[in-house]
């Protein structure tokens, strides 16, 4: 498939009630491994990509290095790739779109694009985030690529008290509607894990909703029944792999010391 065909195929995988499952990867090796396991598409997690190169999350990995990693991942498999691009490395709409254009040049067909103010806390005002999404969509259309813009809200991640998540749902729904009108393809609500609230969000959103799996989250069948269109695993695959590596290394060194 060419890039546009991959973009269309990736978008078609997002079906409410029959979610595409994305077991997030961080480099070419993990991409090939997950592809061989049966994935239909690939998606990076920003935390994992950064950590694998010794950086913290929050756009601390240099953009040039991230682009090179994307190129290597694209070259490792034939699957469509979505990149967790955080805040597009700029608060300016035009510059953010130009940075996403570089991702397209590297072969990506989708992005996560979040509404938190990276490194500063809080969320962008809806109108500002709308202008940023619109600039990215217009750039992709000029290039003839049906870029999947997974518009992420950090409303729920920034509220650690899950008993308060219900009170945030109306704002999340309003943001989902505004982002859809600006050209978003999907709506990502990481941190939201209550099945009833997820179902209400899915019912209210015209966009396929992405839920991130985490300890305590509903299982895949429950999320599908709630109407979810995409399930991703964020940093948890990388963290599990690193913990296994650390544990095995400790056994080796403890054995060598006896």
Give helix then strand counts, H and E, for the chain.
10, 8
**6, burial (CB in 10 Å: exposed 0-12, middle 13-18, buried 19+):** buried
The bridge status of strand 110-114 relative to strand 148-152 is: parallel
258: Cβ–Cβ under 8 A, 6 or more apart, which residues? Answer: none
CATH number of 3-257: 3.20.20.60
Q: How confident is the model at residue 190 (pLDDT cuts 50, 70, 90)?
A: very high
Predicted pLDDT at 70: 98
Tell me the per-residue pLDDT of 31-55, one tens digit each, with 9 for 90 and over. Answer: 999 999 999 999 999 999 999 999 9
Predicted pLDDT at 216: 87
Residues constituting the chain: 258
Query: Which residue matches tokens 């480099």?
Result: 27
End-to-end CA distance of the chain: 55
Average pLDDT for 21-25: 98
Tell me the per-residue pLDDT of 92-146, one tens digit each, with 9 for 90 and over. Answer: 999 999 999 999 999 999 999 999 999 998 999 999 999 999 999 999 999 999 9
Supply the mean pLDDT for the chain. 97
Q: Cα–Cα distance between 255 and 252 in angstroms, integer?
A: 5
**195, burial (CB in 10 Å: exposed 0-12, middle 13-18, buried 19+):** middle
Q: How confident is the model at residue 258 (pLDDT cuts 50, 70, 90)?
A: confident
């Amino acid at each position: 498939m060419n890039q546009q065909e991959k973009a269309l195929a990736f978008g078609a995988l997002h079906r409410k009630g029959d979610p595409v499952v994305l077991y997030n990867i961080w480099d070419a090796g993990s991409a090939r491994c997950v592809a061989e396991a049966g994935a239909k598409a690939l998606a990076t997690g920003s935390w994992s990509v950064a950590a694998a190169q010794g950086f913290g999350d929050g756009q601390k990995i240099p953009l040039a290095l991230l682009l090179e990693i994307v190129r290597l991942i694209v070259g490792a498999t034939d699957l469509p790739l979505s990149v967790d691009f955080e805040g597009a490395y700029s608060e300016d709409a035009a510059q953010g779109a130009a940075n996403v254009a570089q991702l397209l040049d590297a072969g990506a067909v989708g992005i996560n694009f979040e509404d938190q103010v990276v490194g500063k806390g809080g969320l962008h005002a809806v109108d500002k985030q709308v202008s940023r999404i619109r600039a990215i969509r217009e750039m992709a259309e000029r290039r003839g690529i049906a870029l999947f813009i997974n518009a992420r809200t950090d409303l729920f991640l920034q509220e650690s008290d899950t008993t308060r998540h219900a009170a945030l749902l109306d704002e999340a729904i309003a943001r989902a509607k505004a982002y859809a009108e600006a050209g978003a393809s999907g709506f990502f609500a990481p941190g939201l894990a209550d099945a009833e609230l997820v179902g209400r969000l899915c019912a209210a959103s015209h966009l396929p909703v992405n839920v991130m799996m985490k300890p305590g989250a509903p299982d895949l069948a429950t999320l599908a029944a709630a109407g979810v269109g995409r399930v991703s695993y964020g940093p948890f695959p990388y963290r599990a792999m690193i913990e296994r590596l650390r544990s095995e290394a400790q056994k080796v060194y403890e054995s060598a010391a006896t």
